[in-house]
A and B are shown apart, each in its own frame.
Chain A
Amino acid sequence: MKKFWALFFWFWPLVALYLCVIAPGRNWWFPSKPLSTLGHQIDGLFYLILIIVTVTFVGTEFALGYALWKGATKNPSSRAWFSHGSHKLEIVWTIVPAFVLVFISLTQLDVLADIRVLSRFPDSVKEAPVAEVMARQFEWRIRYPKPGTDLMTSPQPGDLYYVNEVHVPAAVPTMINLRTQDVQHAFFVPRLRVKQDAVPGLVIPVWFEIEEAGDYELLCAELCGWGHYKMKARIVAESPEGVSAYLTRLEREQNEDGVQEAETASVE
């Protein structure tokens, strides 16, 4: 029976090892493969940590099983080794994890800088946000600059407005300005691996390069009030020509005076 427990604790790390090895291929950890350039880097960091954690877990569990096995096969009359308070051990298991953590923190600095530090943003987007995404209880209000002009921090005449749908170009770096009108929200696009808090009073630039055209779900990832669950929007990634056609359409709709529209309706 004593040996059973040793085998029992050796069995589980094998299961864990198997699951961790096959997980990346089966995409168990993420809603899809990463669909933005930054997403690949973020997934890379995740899998690096997964390897470290797997090695640690498997190693510790094997050590536990080994201790149990030794205990089970030991001569019952031999004396136990009393290890509590051992300086050597304490130092080893403090320094080793410390090195691991420092290694992780240094490795991720580059990725973090690519995501957050404006000077590291691609040159093409630094000065040219395509839209302002204003989070609000409980929806996303979008403001585009009038076609042919730059986005200003404060609303300008001719700006175009929409709600819960953002059109951005695919396959090129894109930047939006994230703001909130009331409380904290978070701009979360799971398939792009983009997640950024919107903080009252701040204009936060967020950039991404979407690799494939298509619709992406935008969610609020900061519990922002009773209607938090309603804060779902759509990011539409399409060709730059598609985006400008969309903006032209939006501009026409926003300037509707009800006369033109009625005339076309009566012709049909």
Chain B
Amino acid sequence: MRLGLAIMLHTAVLKRAGIAAFLAIVVTGCSDNNASFSISEKTRSLIPEAQAGIAESPGVVALLDQKFGTPQTLKAWMKLPVQWGGAAAKVEVFAADGGEAKVKFTAEEGQTFPEKAGFVNVVTGAGAGKTFSVSSWDAATGEAVLTGLDGGSLAAGDICSIDGGSTIQSGRVLYMRHCSHCHGTAGDGNGPTAQYLYPRPRDYRHGVFKFTSTNDMSKVSRDDLLRVLRYGIPGTYMPSFLLMKDDELTAIVEYVRFLSMRGEFERKLVNELASDFSEDAVESRLKDEQRSDIVGELAKFLAEDLPGVVDGIGAELEETWVAADTEDARIIPSVPRVPDSDESRRRGRELYLSKTLNCADCHGIDGAGNGPQTMIYEKNPVTSVPYNEPGLHDVWDNLNQPRNLHTGIFRGGRRPIDLFCRIHAGIKGSRMPSFKNTPHEDIWHIVNYVLSIPFESEPGATGVAAAPAAAPDAAAAPAAGE
């Protein structure tokens, strides 16, 4: 009897504890709420001192945190060409009235006021570091009413940032909602759903994007990223986000660029340290050196050389990412598209099979994506270890076989200019090389041929061009199949 009562009491307690636990999970969720940017494998291969830093000198992980922060508290490294959002402004008039204050701002050179403003961060002056909230804001005149002064004050001439970082923050929120489940929190292409996808989602950390309208050595432009977001990538899992608003899409683009720069920064920094201070390197150095000497050398390097290296990487990131958005980087054909015709297609086929371009080496004689190169065993260019499977691999170490041109699916877009760019600049990160030295007219012939392949009566049906003397005028020849 007593035992039974004890058990009943016990189950009552258990039940209550269970309900409490259930409610707690419902309210707070069961995963860790602190998202973090993952650290790359290469960084983890360094000795702990190189990752964390020694005494006052930060290591790779500490530097990443200093420059880029965590997903919760993003940091803006102003050197980087990212549109962080908001505007820097100078205080012109400040009139406090109790807890409120009327302020008139003038935008700093090159800055435009945001349409909406929620808060003001004080950058210089007596109140530096403080944040005030904005209760009313007029973007046309720069007049604001600030609240929550709490004893703080501004003076004419102080520099403030109005809604600083608003773009990158809304980009982060949208990215976490729509993109991170495939592309990962840090843009490492390894989110929870990534393992179910083929091809794998892009890992941004190389700073390399495949489908661009920029030259072979240039990075991706903002417009290219926007295009991929709007129209998706057919033939892959990347869907179209056409229905999102323009400002949402541009915010995501900025955040993706931010993550790419972060990843590139990490890679470049680790490359500086890896040859001397990775676990493997240190192990082999221990044969004739003392560990304390190596750590001492590292401490000296971190303290004296690394700041310069960091500045150098920052300058390189700034230069390359800015350049990608300039007109100089954009591919503009020197001649308009050669009108599509049988003759042009035959010429394209001839070039396709030619020794100099040798498209068939990878794409196969009939364009089925089964050229001899798909059979070879490649070595990883970084580690020199042969891959397990035959075929061509991209810089992300994924098997990336040449496209079967018969499917009618054009991942980078089906406009003639898209195909022109694919041939002119190659597909970055993949084994598709750049043919920028090929005359533009010839590239157009190949484009015409490639666009016609899905409609061939049978694979390889397009003949090669007739002898030059007998060749009819390309423009006058009738377009086949239309």
Contact = CB atoms under 8 A, between A and B. Distances in A.
Contact of A164 (B181, B196, B240, B408): B240
Given A163-B240, A227-B239, A254-B415, A155 B331 contact: no
B417 A137 contact: no
A158 B452 CA distance: 10
B415 A163 contact: no
Contacts of A255: 337, 415-416
A212 interface: no
A99 interface: no
Contact of B332 (A165, A227, A262): A262
Given A155-B408, A155-B454, A157-B482, A257 B237 contact: no
B417 A157 contact: no
Contact of A163 (B232, B333, B337): B232
B340 to A, nearest CB: 9
B301 interface: no
Interface in A125-164: 137-139, 141, 155-158, 161, 163-164
Contact of B237 (A137, A231, A260): A137
A198 B187 CA distance: 34
A227 B240 CA distance: 12
Interface residues of A, number: 29
A20 interface: no
B331 A258 contact: yes
A195 interface: no
B481 interface: yes
Contacts of A234: 242-243
Given A139-B239, A155-B408, A226-B193, A257 B454 contact: no
A152 to B, nearest CB: 11
A253 B337 CA distance: 14
B243 A163 contact: no
A202 interface: no
A256 B417 contact: yes
B333 A258 contact: yes
A232 interface: yes
A138 B239 contact: yes
B116 interface: no
Interface in B441-482: 444, 451-452, 454-455, 481-482
A80 interface: no
B333 A158 contact: no
B110 interface: no
B199 to A, nearest CB: 14
B242 A163 contact: yes
Contacts of A158: 482
Nearest to A137: B237
Interface string B421-435: 100000000000000
B336 interface: yes
Given A161-B414, A163-B231, A258-B213, 10 more contacts: A137-B237, A138-B237, A157-B452, A163-B232, A254-B415, A255-B337, A255-B416, A257-B336, A259-B332, A259-B333
Interface of A: 137-139, 141, 155-158, 161, 163-165, 226-227, 230-234, 253-262
Interface of B: 178, 181, 193, 196, 213, 231-232, 234, 237, 239-240, 242-243, 330-333, 335-337, 408, 414-417, 420-421, 444, 451-452, 454-455, 481-482
